[in-house]
Amino acid sequence: MNAGVLVAVEVDATTIARGDQVMVGGQTFTVTDMTAMRGGAKRLVFSSGESFVMTRTTTLWAARRHIPLRLGRRRPPAATS
């Protein structure tokens, strides 16, 4: 099981990442590979084997796994005299 929580983020061709889950045409796809194309576009390859060309002006919502930092209990600062 993957750790972390899924967070909805707005992505474009510059911010899309491998592992993002995007919805295209009412179906969810997981990005497994990307290729940069001219004009700032990216060709996304999904785990299903299908591909999608995302132009630089295309904006999608994606589910991205985020692992929150676990901060330990903070100690009060040491007293100085």
Domains along the chain with CATH numbers: 5-66 (2.30.30.30)
- DSSP classification of residue 61: E
Rounded-to-integer distance, Cα 74 and Cα 60, Å: 39
pLDDT band at 71 (very low <50, low <70, confident <90, very high): low
Q: What is the pLDDT of residue 3?
A: 74
Amino acid identity, residue 78?
A: A
Strand partners, 9: 62
Q: What pLDDT, in 10s, does the model give residues 6-54?
A: 899 999 999 999 999 999 988 999 999 999 999 999 999 999 999 999 9
What DSSP letter does each residue of 17-53 carry, written as one string? -TT-EEEETTEEEEEEEEEE-GGG-EEEEETTS-EEE
Q: Is 81 helix (H, G, I), strand (E, B) or coil?
A: coil
Whether residue 76 has pLDDT greater than 90? no
